[in-house]
Structure 1
Amino acid sequence: MKLRTLSTAILLTFTVTGAMAQSAADMGAGRRPHKESVFPLKPTDQEAAAAQISARLLTRFHYDAQPLDDAMSAKIYDAYIKALDGDKMQFTQADLAKLKPYRTQLDDAIWNSDLSAPFDIFNLYVQRAIQHWTYARSLLAKGFDFNTHEVYQYDRKKADWAPDDVALNDLWRKRTMNDWLRLKLAGKKDDEIRALLEKRYNGYIERTKQVDDQDAFQSFMTAYAETTDPHTDYLGPREAEQFDIMMRLSLEGIGAQLMLRDDYVAIAELVPGGPAIKSNKLHLGDRIAAVGQGTEGPMVDVIGWRLDDVVNLIRGKKGSTVRLDVIPADKGLDAKPERIALVRQKIQVEDMAASKKIIEIKDAKGAHKIGVIDLPSFYSDFDGRQDGDKNYKSATRDVAKLIGELKQAGVEGIVMDLRDDGGGSLTEANQMTGLFIDKGPVVQVRDSRGHVDVQGDDQAGMAWDGPLAVLVNRGSASASEIFTAAIKDYGRGIIIGNPTFGKGTVQNLVNLDRIAQTHGDKSQFGELKMTIAEFFRINGGSTQLKGVTPDIEYPRTGAEKDYGESTYDNALPWTQIAPAEYQPVANIQPYLATLKGEHDARVAQSPAWKLMLDELAAYQKLRDKTSVSLNYAQREAERKQLDAQQAEFRARHKLLDGKNAKGDDDAAQLDDGLDPNERSLKSVLKEEKDVKNARNKPDPELRETAHVLADAYDLIHANQTLAGQVLPYGGKMGNAWLKPAVTVVVKHGPSPAPAGSTGGHGH
């Protein structure tokens, strides 16, 4: 998560000389995309300046500031090598012996503004990657014997480095054999396989040749930043722009999502309401051959370009014009391109915004309507808010509106689905909590000096005072954990799912261009996402490392073994501070045991739950594998066994789900051996559509969570004393969501927020 405000001390302490700023401005403005880079790659003056500014910030203002010395250099070196070659398929022990002197020189490279050392490492990596893909391509002419009993270890994170080129070439031979075998098992003939892999490997080589100095610098600075702690990061100009788009859920462009298809960038999706779809001239699969700026500017040929470089040309200021030379999807590549002019507009990224649905629960106790709010992130358009844009994107404002709509629909409980919500804005986490409590502290933030700032909701009123559940998993992190922990500490709702990620730190996004005092529309130095504080629950505990433990826990996926804060070697330790002054608004303990018992009894008899467990066990078994046989007969037998297992799963889904069954397309269930851009455009678009429609497919965990809330409603509805214990503020807030038949005596108190309001917060 990020705090947008910069520290005044940071701004006053660090500047760069006017000459350096001018150099950065000149170089940043003059960069142009390219098809192939010039090797060896060399660092620019602006990158050297950005590295030095970042180091000064990290060594003085980071929450756990550490000196940039030889000891830190060794850590950066290890992280850098791991980032470049984590599978140990490029460097040999001999290579690493040659690179070893750099292990203690990376600190000097930054302080002396001489980045030749990290660039030498990156250049060797690129050289080795091209060398090995070229070697793999050379093996295709002869083919392979799949009657041997060789084994290919594809997960090499814990393996030793190959001692020399001979040993590493043998690994690449096995890798190439596996690529061939996967296609052979999928039914491809040898000539077809040879041609397909020849094209694939040529593509890998050409794309490797397109890496540029920004890629090298980004890789090195990421290694340095993440060595300080797992969540500090350097964002180069390209990455900074993308990060800001994801936070504000908007961008200025034509409203088209693009994908790479061979040498062309093609249309993958058209955003509703955007200039592209309104023109009726662009269609899925259309290929972009050239891009021009304005109504009369020159057209730039972009065939063979990197996807991000083409995207950068097409995006631009709202109201400006961009022209595209487009080859329609239904015509051959030799067809004459059609020229299309579009005026850029502000585009909302609605796919990542909060959304709602209603689950209907019917059981022996009756029928219930449970509302679900799916929140992918705690997004916020910081700039729009500061500029006074009345329609700025805000997760809290969107959720408040959805709550109002769910209340109008008569739901009896609400599930906040935060699974895989990686966080976002701290402010949004505070304000979101305020939708479900009257007012009070939400989180405590301790800075590097030990000062503790208590933040929360100080506006009276709630948007929803009825039964509440928060559904979380290992992917729920940061702002998600702040919200979830506050709901739990206040006793406001039931936490359900898996223990969360365990990220308990706060990051500040520092604009390096402001510090360097550069001018221009586009970022030149990038941004530094730096850990500046740690947050604590209002009960004094931390979510760091431990995360938030659910009240009702669902089966674990095994992700905790290699995903989550506890998997980082340099994660900050768990600590605690004094609790904040707060009063729980309710207490779920009086009916938690009953809810657990009803949950356990229900899932024990649930075919859908049993199917989910069986699929999870099969997934974990496959995920634990680190190697595969290169014997055709053995792999074919394993494939048949897997096919039979998946056929059984599909049959069980069809019995449960009918026409909505997962996996109706049998061919899509087994490995086809293809890279995504090698599949037909139709299958790629279908896969994208399936991913987006996944929210509407049967979801045993979500449905069971709705069942738990329905049980909670029934218990509250039947027992006045219990209602006074488990409802917020003793059930005195109005309870407009209760059915008229309830016998609870409601005392006078604050009126509930009207439908669609934000509970008096003015979000």
Structure 2
Amino acid sequence: MRLRYSFFGLLLAIAPAAYALEPGTPPVLAPLDRQAQAANISAQFLGRYSYKPVPLDDALSVKIMNSFIKSLDPDRSFFLKSDIDSFAANSKKIDDAIEDEDLKLPFSIFNVYSQRVSERLTYARELLKQGFDFTQREEYSVLRDDAPWPQSQQESNDLWRKRVKSDWLRLKLAGSQDATIRETLDKRYQNVLDRTYRYKSDDVFQSFMAAYTTSVDPHTDYFGARAAAEFDISMSLSLVGIGAVLQERDGYTTIRELVPGGPAQLSGKLAVGDRIAGVAQGEDGPMKDVVGTRLDEIVQMIRGAKDSVVRLDVLPADTGETGSHRVISLVRDRVSLEKQAAQKSIIPVEDKGVTRRIGVITLPAFYEDFEARRKGEKNYKSASRDVAKLLVELKQENVDGVLIDLRDNGGGSLSEAIELTGLFVGKGPVVQQRDAKGKVEILKDDQSAPAWAGPVGVLINRGSASASEIFAAAIQDYGRGVVIGEPSFGKGTVQTVVDLDQATRSSESKYGELKLTIAQFFRVDGGTTQLRGVTPDISLPGLSDPKTLGEASYDNALPWTRIKPAKYAAVGNVASVLPQLQTQHEARIKDDPDFQRFIEDAAELKQQREKKVISLNEAERRAELAAVASRLKAREQINNGLVGSEDDGLQANERSLSAEIALEDARKNAKDVLKNEASAIVADQATLLQDSNAQPGRAKRN
């Protein structure tokens, strides 16, 4: 699954350094030769090997242009209508730019964008020097993706006046005083300005290539060298470094978390909240000042070869900016990211005096260390291997059923999805794959017997995509378990990653990698997960917005279709108990106050999401807050931290680190009503299958 970001959205979310640069003209960025060459090489691969090739012509050129502009300014708050008109005059020239290896055009668009950001944020900071009248009745449009572009500088000024006023009012309603609000917002806007000045050519190229590749196909992507490295880390769940999660806060790279068992944690030399002021390589390399440096650049400096030394100039968490620094040495080592691996827990479910123990396995991704497996390493990291170990442990703990939680699991390794299915189904076809020439291949698991033969549930939501959908669909088609939750994402296409340096026999690492769609998935029953996703057997409410999340949100998504079913044999008969499971589920949630609160919160979130404008009148906003408080009070407790919890008006980096961690911990520890209900459904399944002796019968299907 691909997540789409805008430049400005990332600016606000990442919380860049607060060291101010004087207002002025942002740097003018220009394309590099290797970037133009990489774009041209990518175009050749996309034209020849894509599952559904899209010609690089004027029509695609217009799409790329529009996508690039949208990625830069999704809320239409920076560019003027005159800017857009001037871009449109060249909208059919992007294809020529790629073919001619001349990317001046997209870079010129970005340079206009950075100039507009500088102008708008400078203006926003000037507005903070004056006050606002919150007794006026006016509104601010919060959904502007389809709004007209500002026609003039005056119209843009008025838009930003309302935007700043909205930010101010939000903090005011949270109880902040004017002086604090002014300081907070000034730093916030300055942070965005600073990040604009730190953009580099590779950032622009990455964004342009994202616009190009997604215009061809929603899941085609381009990875520069750093993006490729991050992808490898996400799949292998390991990296070579010091084992610290870093975050930018007030100009410093700050220790957000220490990875258990990593060099930093084992050394005892670093603590959460410590700030990194300098980085040096080896025992005697020069110390480089990194205060105000981009986080991604510092991360690259700290990572390195296994057993090599990195020295850090550290300002302790409990020391002010003028306090004493200390220099520490750490030996880099391979760090396992266990928090991102499969985890298990046991949920007891009580019903009519009987307690069922349900083992829950949470799987964030279908990870696999491709390189270690290729090298033949015996204990390479993989999702299916980890789940197999957890199943052994759950068996020993005498669980009555197993729930696989795949919520927000965007997929990963196809082979891992197949092997994971085998743990519950055994030997047989798992998924069908059709290539661009129409050839269909049936992919099978060869495990002779399932590792777990008891009751199974699969919990999915709109964020469950690709490999998650393959697994859930196979469990459903085989009658092996009950699928619970929301309809899944709907990604039914296959991608492969091409190393452009290897493909062109380049002796340097300069062209990056291209992930392109080469085939389509089909279920063993002949249907596809494409577009429609997997429909759950028992539906649960969700918090996602199907208009913006899911395959159907892409205007160039492939349609749903069907092919001939594979020959497979069902290994379960869950369908026979589904009506009873549904009846028991409905009866249970009807009397469950936590679940009913969740339904209310989901409805409230949907209502807020569809609200296109907000009032900038203080009295009206306080009345709205009072109504929410009254509703919460009537429920006699806060609503699991979903909707209506107190808004402090701050972004994550604007809170203290301890406050931010406490807030995240509270959210993690909030009651998970969906997981609890899914566990109860699996417990019902265990009882019904036991009573009816309905599990496994092998019915032939063609």
**TM-aligned CA deviation for residue 652 of structure 1:** 6.3
> Equivalent residue for 1:240?
228
Amino acid at match of 2:314: V
Q: Equivalent residue of 2:91, what SS?
A: helix
The verdict on how the C-alpha distance between 1:468 and 1:190 changes in structure 2, with shifts beyond 3 A counting, is: same
Of 539, 546, 550, 2:532 maps to 546
1:531 is the counterpart of 2:517? yes
Q: Distance in 2 between matches of 1:488 and 1:270?
A: 40
1:575 is the counterpart of 2:551? no
1:651 is the counterpart of 2:651? no
Q: Equivalent residue of 1:79, what SS?
A: helix
Deviations 1:653-674 (CA, angstroms, capped at 9, x unpaired) = 6xxxxxxxx459x9x9322122
Q: How does 1:720-735 map to 2 (within 5 A)?
A: 723=693, 725-727=694-696, 729=698
Deviations 1:36-59 (CA, angstroms, capped at 9, x unpaired) = 997210111111111111111111
Amino acid at match of 2:408: D
> Equivalent residue for 1:304?
292
Q: Would you say the 8 A contact 1:152–1:628 is kept in 2?
A: yes
> Equivalent residue for 2:683?
710
> Equivalent residue for 1:601?
587
Amino acid at match of 2:426: D
1:613 is the counterpart of 2:613? no
Deviations 1:330-372 (CA, angstroms, capped at 9, x unpaired) = 0111123210110101111111110111111111151211111
> Equivalent residue for 2:646?
670
> Equivalent residue for 2:627?
641
1:402 is the counterpart of 2:378? no
Q: Equivalent residue of 1:555, what SS?
A: coil
The verdict on how the C-alpha distance between 1:195 and 1:128 changes in structure 2, with shifts beyond 3 A counting, is: same
Deviations 1:477-523 (CA, angstroms, capped at 9, x unpaired) = 10000001111111111111111111000110111221232346xx5
Deviation larger for 254-263 or 596-605: 596-605
The verdict on how the C-alpha distance between 1:652 and 1:678 changes in structure 2, with shifts beyond 3 A counting, is: closer
Deviation larger for 304-313 or 187-196: 187-196
Unaligned runs of 5+ in 1: 3-33, 654-661, 731-763
Unaligned runs of 5+ in 2: 3-18
Residue identity over aligned pairs, in percent, reads 50
Q: Distance in 2 between matches of 1:440 and 1:306?
A: 49
Deviations 1:93-112 (CA, angstroms, capped at 9, x unpaired) = 11111112220111111111
Q: Distance in 2 between matches of 1:623 and 1:651?
A: 23
Q: Distance in 2 between matches of 1:87 and 1:186?
A: 25
Q: Distance in 2 between matches of 1:92 and 1:408?
A: 65
Q: Would you say the 8 A contact 1:249–1:349 is kept in 2?
A: yes
> Equivalent residue for 2:169?
181
1:686 is the counterpart of 2:662? yes
Amino acid at match of 1:337: H
Q: Distance in 2 between matches of 1:616 and 1:478?
A: 25
**TM-aligned CA deviation for residue 195 of structure 1:** 2.2
1:699 is the counterpart of 2:685? no
> Equivalent residue for 1:625?
611
Q: Distance in 2 between matches of 1:677 and 1:558?
A: 24
> Equivalent residue for 1:25?
none
Q: Equivalent residue of 1:579, what SS?
A: coil
**TM-aligned CA deviation for residue 525 of structure 1:** 2.0
Q: Distance in 1 between matches of 2:480 and 2:465?
A: 20
Q: Distance in 1 between matches of 2:465 and 2:353?
A: 36
**TM-aligned CA deviation for residue 684 of structure 1:** 1.7
The verdict on how the C-alpha distance between 1:292 and 1:568 changes in structure 2, with shifts beyond 3 A counting, is: same
Amino acid at match of 2:687: D
**TM-aligned CA deviation for residue 615 of structure 1:** 1.7
Deviation larger for 538-547 or 676-685: 676-685
Deviations 1:452-478 (CA, angstroms, capped at 9, x unpaired) = 111011231110011111111111110
The verdict on how the C-alpha distance between 1:64 and 1:408 changes in structure 2, with shifts beyond 3 A counting, is: same
**TM-aligned CA deviation for residue 648 of structure 1:** 4.5
Q: Distance in 2 between matches of 1:703 and 1:269?
A: 29
> Equivalent residue for 2:425?
437
Amino acid at match of 1:704: E
**TM-aligned CA deviation for residue 612 of structure 1:** 1.5
Q: Would you say the 8 A contact 2:80–2:149 is kept in 1?
A: yes
Amino acid at match of 2:74: G
Q: How does 1:84-163 map to 2 (within 5 A)?
A: 84-163=72-151
**TM-aligned CA deviation for residue 35 of structure 1:** 11
TM-score, normalising length: structure 2: 0.94
> Equivalent residue for 1:514?
502
Q: Distance in 1 between matches of 2:431 and 2:20?
A: 49
Q: Would you say the 8 A contact 1:643–1:670 is kept in 2?
A: no
Of 263, 280, 286, 1:275 maps to 263
**TM-aligned CA deviation for residue 635 of structure 1:** 1.3
The verdict on how the C-alpha distance between 1:650 and 1:444 changes in structure 2, with shifts beyond 3 A counting, is: farther
Q: Distance in 2 between matches of 1:53 and 1:250?
A: 30
**TM-aligned CA deviation for residue 326 of structure 1:** 0.5
**TM-aligned CA deviation for residue 450 of structure 1:** 0.8
1:207 is the counterpart of 2:195? yes
Amino acid at match of 1:166: Q
TM-score, normalising length: structure 1: 0.86
Amino acid at match of 1:683: A
Q: Distance in 2 between matches of 1:459 and 1:663?
A: 43
Amino acid at match of 1:608: D
**TM-aligned CA deviation for residue 188 of structure 1:** 1.7
Q: How does 1:304-453 map to 2 (within 5 A)?
A: 304-364=292-352, 366-453=354-441
**TM-aligned CA deviation for residue 113 of structure 1:** 0.9
Q: Distance in 1 between matches of 2:325 and 2:372?
A: 38
Q: Distance in 1 between matches of 2:305 and 2:634?
A: 53
Q: Would you say the 8 A contact 2:401–2:454 is kept in 1?
A: yes
**TM-aligned CA deviation for residue 555 of structure 1:** 2.6
Amino acid at match of 1:708: I
> Equivalent residue for 1:10?
none
Deviation larger for 314-323 or 552-561: 552-561
Q: Would you say the 8 A contact 1:496–1:551 is kept in 2?
A: yes
Q: Distance in 2 between matches of 1:238 and 1:646?
A: 46
Q: Distance in 2 between matches of 1:507 and 1:576?
A: 20
> Equivalent residue for 1:467?
455
Amino acid at match of 1:492: R
The verdict on how the C-alpha distance between 1:252 and 1:94 changes in structure 2, with shifts beyond 3 A counting, is: same
Q: Distance in 2 between matches of 1:499 and 1:365?
A: 33
**TM-aligned CA deviation for residue 143 of structure 1:** 1.7
**TM-aligned CA deviation for residue 587 of structure 1:** 2.0
Deviations 1:570-596 (CA, angstroms, capped at 9, x unpaired) = 000111111111121222222211121
Deviations 1:625-679 (CA, angstroms, capped at 9, x unpaired) = 12111111111221222233344456166xxxxxxxx459x9x932212222111
Q: Equivalent residue of 2:227, what SS?
A: helix
Q: Would you say the 8 A contact 2:632–2:638 is kept in 1?
A: no
